[in-house]
Amino acid sequence: MSSTEAPERFEYLQSLVTEFQDTDSEEAKEQVLANLANFAYDPKNMEYLQELQVPDLFLDMLTEENENFVEFGMGGLCNLSMDPECREVILQSGGISLVTNCLSNRREETVLSAVTTLMNLATPATRSQISEPGILQCMLRFSLAESPRLRNLAAVFLQDCCSEEQVRQAQQQMDGRQTAVGIPLPKE
């Protein structure tokens, strides 16, 4: 990246954040969130997005009623969660519980981003929280979903983020009471 490109990139991202804060239009906010989520995919932008507090903006979107805000916020967090520094920001801001709440979203894209984000947030320090029984039961249910994307991602989560013993215990708990966690499968 050239030295002239960096300031222009920062200024552009800053203008997006400012537009989000200043506009009253839900449609304009959705467009800005979608753009920021896409920019969060590029590692060159991570430092700027952190400086502009975009991880916190995305986390704030997870509790909005507007489902597009939630979807774009979750997608942005999913992209940011691959970066170690952004991962720390997300974890320090209570991101695991906010992301976990998105597992019950009706939109499949939001749920897929939430599952992927939880996988990205899994560290030795967070693994017990990410592999708690309620989440594992949810993943077991997702592993039976009609959607191949959700089914396969849940299977990868169960394989990568927890032990076989944890999965077995979660399965036994589910078998004992058929009302898993009350988390419905998302609509396709």
pLDDT at 179 (0 to 100)? 47
185 domain residue, yes or no: no
81: domain range?
A: 1-121
Q: What is the dihedral of CA 97, 98, 99, 100, to 10 degrees?
A: 40
What's 23's domain CATH number?
1.25.10.10
Counted domains in the chain:
2
How large a percentage of the chain has pLDDT more than 90? 86
188 domain residue, yes or no: no
Choosing from 83, 104, 121, the residue where a domain stops is 121
pLDDT at 175 (0 to 100)? 82
| Arithmetic mean of pLDDT, 105-134 | 96
Instruction: Tell me: pLDDT of 2 over 70.
Output: no
My answer on whether 21 and 78 are in the same domain is: yes
CA 117, CA 29: separation in Å to the nearest integer? 23
Instruction: Tell me: pLDDT of 4 over 60.
Output: no
19 domain residue, yes or no: yes
187 domain residue, yes or no: no
27 domain residue, yes or no: yes
CB-side neighbour CA atoms (13 Å) of 28: 11
82 domain residue, yes or no: yes
Choosing from 73, 103, 121, the residue where a domain stops is 121
My answer on whether 1 and 42 are in the same domain is: yes
My answer on whether 75 and 137 are in the same domain is: no
My answer on whether 65 and 151 are in the same domain is: no
144 domain residue, yes or no: yes
My answer on whether 113 and 22 are in the same domain is: yes
Nearest to 103 by CA among 83, 144, 68, 74: 74
My answer on whether 111 and 130 are in the same domain is: no
For residue range 64-111, what is the model confidence (pLDDT) as tens digits? 999 999 999 999 999 999 999 999 999 999 999 999 999 999 999 999
My answer on whether 22 and 2 are in the same domain is: yes
pLDDT at 11 (0 to 100)? 96
140 domain residue, yes or no: yes
My answer on whether 19 and 38 are in the same domain is: yes
pTM for this predicted structure: 0.89
My answer on whether 113 and 134 are in the same domain is: no
Question: Which are the contacts of 57, defined by CB distance < 8 A and separation ≥ 6?
Answer: 17, 20, 36, 73
For residue range 140-165, what is the model confidence (pLDDT) as tens digits? 999 999 999 999 999 999 999 999 99
pLDDT at 180 (0 to 100)? 45
My answer on whether 13 and 81 are in the same domain is: yes
